Amino acid sequence: MAKQAKPHKSKRRVIRTGASSSANMPRSTSKSSRKISSTGALVKKKTGVFSWIWTPAVPRAKGIGKVAPKHVFKVLTSKKALKLYAIGILSFILAIAAIFAWFAKDLPSPNKINALASAQTTKLYDRTGEHLLVEIYGDKNRSLIEYNQMPQCIKDATVALEDKDFYNQGAFSPKGLVRAFSGIIFRDSSRGGGSTITQQYVKNALLTNERSYNRKIKELILSIEIEQLYKKDDILKLYLNEIPYGSTAYGVQAGSKQFFGVDAKDLTLSQCAMLASLPQAPSYYSPYGNHKDALLIKKDHVLDLMVEQKHVTQAQADDAKKVDILAQLKPYNPYANVTAPHYVQYVRELLEDKYGVKRVNEGGLKVITSLDLGKQRIAEDAVASNINSVRSFGGSNAALTAADPKTGEVLAMVGSYDYNQPEFGSYNVAVARRQPGSSIKPLVYTNLFKKNWGPGSTLYDVQTDFGGGYKPQNYTRRFYGVQSARTALSSSLNIPAVKSLYIGGINEFLGTAKDMGITTFDRSADEYGLSLALGAGEVKMVDMANAFSVLADSGQKRNQVYWTKITDSSGKVIDQANAETNKPKQVIDAQVATEISSILSDNNARCSLGVFTCNNPLTLGNRPVAAKTGTTEDYKDAWTMGYTPSIVTAVWAGNNDNKPMTQAASIVSAPIWNKFMKGALDGTPVEQFAQAPGLKQVTLDVNTGKTPTQNTKKTRTDIFASWYSLVKADATQKATIDSVTGKLATDCTPPDAKKEITGASITAEIPPTDPSFNRWNPPVTALARSLGYDAGGVIPVDKDDLHQCGDTPPAISISASAVSTTVTVTANIVGGRFPVNRVDFYRDGTVFSSQATGSSVVTITDVVSPGVHSYFAKVYDSGLYNAQSNSQSVNVSGAVSYTLNCTGAASCTLSGLSSGTAILYNTGGQSKTDSTAPYAWSNPATWPGSNWNGLSGIASNIYVKVNGGTPVYP
């Protein structure tokens, strides 16, 4: 037991613990831990420099070591506690000072801002690294101006948008700083922002745009130093002279000149609001680029902030919003003499997004892009040489993107047919959102084939109600009945495509499309609806090229590559794309990719329904190529997508403003695609599409899409994925029905009304439990009956109750007589129980005339050659009863003499014929027909090839045939 401690000397009363004997206390093996007073209270032994913390200074509450609540304040404000606080605060200050000193040693001096090193240009090269595409300059277009030369509106607009508390706070915003550091911690760029104007100046002028602790601390140190050295107006001047406004325009003076052609001091309020909107993302918000609508929205937002912060009145802001600011822009084309300008502009945007505007414009980067200069020139020629054809169909523009599916590298890009076209030349359709039309269908079927479907599966192209009044039509306004998925996709049938989207699932399709590289399907399945199958969702051309690359490369997706290597100004590699850094990801099964490529490369399937001709621009001779066109409603967009195993090409033609054209993609955009593909692949080996292992051949019943049976009328064999399981046909049987009522035939059913059917199941493609089944099935039922199948797999149970065994059929008799070679036949008809609706006349056992009639007497004439001819007739009624007349023979005797008289070269007449048909011929192959007497022909000498030589030449050059008989010469 430890030695007993001395009693506490405090005059305060000692609180006992409730145990009077030390024997009841726990043992302790520590020599310096606790002592027990004679009263039983614990006392902490002073064993260290901070032992005073434990020494009781106030009475304790019940329970060992607890301070009474009413004495807590005294403890916290005691001299000893205050001493501890002071030590802690001093330690914190020293730590912060040390951190600042450590980072500050390598920072540029804020006193020497104007002496900083000049910027270096960034250079973009083609894929070989030998051909310079463009130099991106930093300070090339910067004009420094004084604070008093800057209009108040640009100062107010900038402060309102960037840092509303600029004049009321220090170098940094505590909230913004916390947000920035949390963004670095969680690697979430959305948590950034909130930097003060001072911080933004430091970031743009003195540091890089790197997101790290080090850079943020350096930014903070420099911002504090600058705030101490400069007045707020001076800092704002530095900022407005430094920030990028787009392209090579740095500083507000250069921006004013570039966009509006005026000095900064002459800017209007609306112009100031637009300029203030640019620095956060100058390439994205460029008024010459693709996002003008976003720029206008942001410009109006700046004006609203200026009103909110009382820089301008609401009336002034409203007036500024009404100004057509885009109409005031000065024409500007920084890429006029640049190789592949649309491509270069887009690569620059991507670089700025990744490395920041300052580093791209001034960092001296060397960028080896993915651009294939040879293919780029072929692409530009293919587009330019076909633009007149596009115009002839009501279009005004065209674009093309080509990529290598094996690497993800973008090889060529033409964003508009001519970058220098003043109205829209700089507009890059390749990265704009457009509706894809039917070119999206391969992705729809890709999603479908993940399930128990394949190229040989049966789909019914019939008028279908998909709910909500949605009843799509095919391009040809026709329906094609029973079709395979192969033919439905290759012929671009709409109803099967919508069915395929429904069966595959809209949500599942959106996921598949995203996996394959489509980035713009950003709405819900309900918002899109089934029209998504026909191209209702907008896509980017570069995304479509990426998605089709997945199909071309056996279901593997790679990130799209625009540069293969980037080095900094010192030659250090800071980024590169190769087989190791851009490894493929299997996003769809290789078997599905093979199935789709098989369909899209099947030209026989494409032209089997006559929707496309077999001689179309989607083929490349003996080179296998998969292709699909897409045309949006009213011919607003004409797409052609196609690929071989080594290149994927997307082509669009149309009008940027969505005005309709007059022709479809197969005529408008496909020729551009064809010309480029031929040029790009010229001299390269012919490649076959990869055949994924696991695929199998399956034979099925064409009409039912199920296993063939002994009653199957026709089968189809096609490739299917390994997981496909052929649906077993229902039990089958044959039955004879009454084709008038659709019920089972009886002994009383007339023979002509009887029809044999097979009880194989033909129903809608979805199960009866599906909520859409009752809408889909009726037209399939009608199709089944037309094919001689029972619809639904159930033989009728009701019997024919229309026909009775005592029904009276119609009756008919004929008489016939001849005058010369004309026979007159008269039929006398007596109706039965049902109305008469048709009479067929037979000569020598063959129908020569069919008359739809309900009359009791029908007379016709027949011109025949001499000889004996036999006549009879058959009558039919609406109950499909029929009757045959008596047979009568007519002797057409004696050869009739005809005379052809020609008067010089003026006219010819035929005598001896009262009725029938006479055709006058010449040896030049010309002929003229006369069917009524008198028979005459005027001016036969004018016919080509007649070779008239007066009357002596007529006999050898002209003749007549009567009722198809032997020639009669003049």
Q: Judge whether residue 724 has pLDDT over 90.
A: yes
pLDDT (0 to 100) of residue 219: 73
Q: Which residue has the higher pLDDT, 25 or 522?
A: 522
pLDDT (0 to 100) of residue 224: 80
Q: How confident is the model at residue 549 (pLDDT cuts 50, 70, 90)?
A: very high
Domain ranges of the chain: 22-77, 138-338, 431-559+576-681, 696-791, 811-892, 899-962
Q: Judge whether residue 915 has pLDDT over 90.
A: no
Q: Which residue has the higher pLDDT, 269 or 820?
A: 269
Mode of pairing for the β-strands spanning 867-877 and 882-884 = antiparallel
Model confidence pLDDT, tens digit, residues 122-163: 899 999 999 999 888 755 566 788 999 999 999 999 999 999
Query: CA-CA distance, 405 to 690, in Å (whole number)?
Result: 13
pLDDT (0 to 100) of residue 185: 47
- With b meaning 16 or more CB within 10 Å and e meaning fewer, what string describes 697-726? ebebbbbbbbbbbeebeeebebbbbeebeb
pLDDT (0 to 100) of residue 920: 79
Query: CA-CA distance, 239 to 205, in Å (whole number)?
Result: 8
CA-based nearest residue to 676, from 737, 625, 714, 602: 625
User: Listing from the earlier edge strand, what are the strands of the sheet with 958-962?
Assistant: 927-930, 918-922, 958-962
Q: What is the pTM of this model?
A: 0.60
pLDDT (0 to 100) of residue 13: 41
Phi-psi region of 468 (alpha: psi -120 to 50; beta: other; left: phi over 0): left
Q: What does the block give as tokens for 864?
A: 């025949």
Model confidence pLDDT, tens digit, residues 571-586: 999 999 988 888 999 9
Residue 158 CA to its chain's centroid (Å): 38
pLDDT (0 to 100) of residue 136: 83
Q: Judge whether residue 499 has pLDDT over 70.
A: yes
CA-based nearest residue to 339, from 126, 129, 562, 565: 126
User: Listing from the earlier edge strand, what are the strands of the sheet with 563-567?
Assistant: 132-136, 122-125, 366-369, 563-567, 573-576
pLDDT (0 to 100) of residue 67: 58
Task: Find the range with the poorest average confidence among 130-144, 280-294, 517-531, 860-874.
Answer: 130-144
Model confidence pLDDT, tens digit, residues 240-259: 988 889 877 888 998 999 89
Model confidence pLDDT, tens digit, residues 49-93: 444 444 444 444 444 455 566 666 676 677 777 777 778 777 766
pLDDT (0 to 100) of residue 119: 56
H/E run at residue 487: helix 485-490
Q: What does the block give as tokens for 107?
A: 């920072």
Q: What mean pLDDT is reported for the chain?
A: 84
CATH 2.60.40.10 fits 811-892, yes or no: yes
Q: How confident is the model at residue 300 (pLDDT cuts 50, 70, 90)?
A: very high
pLDDT (0 to 100) of residue 872: 95
CB neighbourhood size of 647 (10 A): 26
Query: CA-CA distance, 941 to 927, in Å (whole number)?
Result: 12
Model confidence pLDDT, tens digit, residues 668-686: 999 999 999 999 999 999 9
pLDDT (0 to 100) of residue 864: 87
End-to-end CA distance of the chain: 156
- Provide the residue count of the chain: 970
Model confidence pLDDT, tens digit, residues 346-393: 999 999 999 998 889 888 899 999 999 999 999 999 999 999 999 999
pLDDT (0 to 100) of residue 63: 45
CATH of 431-559+576-681, one of 3.40.710.10, 3.30.360.10, 3.20.20.60, 2.40.50.840: 3.40.710.10
Q: How confident is the model at residue 100 (pLDDT cuts 50, 70, 90)?
A: low
Q: How confident is the model at residue 945 (pLDDT cuts 50, 70, 90)?
A: low
pLDDT (0 to 100) of residue 781: 87
Contact residues for 596 (Cβ-Cβ < 8 A; gap 6+): 442, 445, 446, 449, 551, 626
Q: Which residue has the higher pLDDT, 206 or 97?
A: 206
Query: CA-CA distance, 453 to 723, in Å (whole number)?
Result: 9
Model confidence pLDDT, tens digit, residues 164-210: 989 887 655 556 555 544 554 445 444 444 588 888 888 877 665 66
Is residue 132 within 8 Å of 124, Cβ to Cβ? yes
Q: Judge whether residue 701 has pLDDT over 80.
A: yes
Cα dihedral 741, 742, 746, 748 sign = positive
Model confidence pLDDT, tens digit, residues 443-491: 999 999 999 999 999 999 999 999 999 999 999 999 999 999 999 999 9
Instruction: List the CATH code of the domain at 138-338.
Output: 1.10.3810.10
Q: Which residue has the higher pLDDT, 59 or 661?
A: 661
Task: Find the range with the poorest average confidence among 137-141, 259-263, 265-269, 546-550.
Answer: 137-141
Q: Judge whether residue 800 has pLDDT over 70.
A: yes
User: What are residue 142's DSSP bridge partners?
Assistant: 250
- With b meaning 16 or more CB within 10 Å and e meaning fewer, what string describes 396-420? bbbbbbbbbbbbbbbbbbbbbbebe
pLDDT (0 to 100) of residue 530: 97
Cα–Cα–Cα angle for 137, 143, 146, nearest 5°? 145
CB neighbourhood size of 841 (10 A): 22
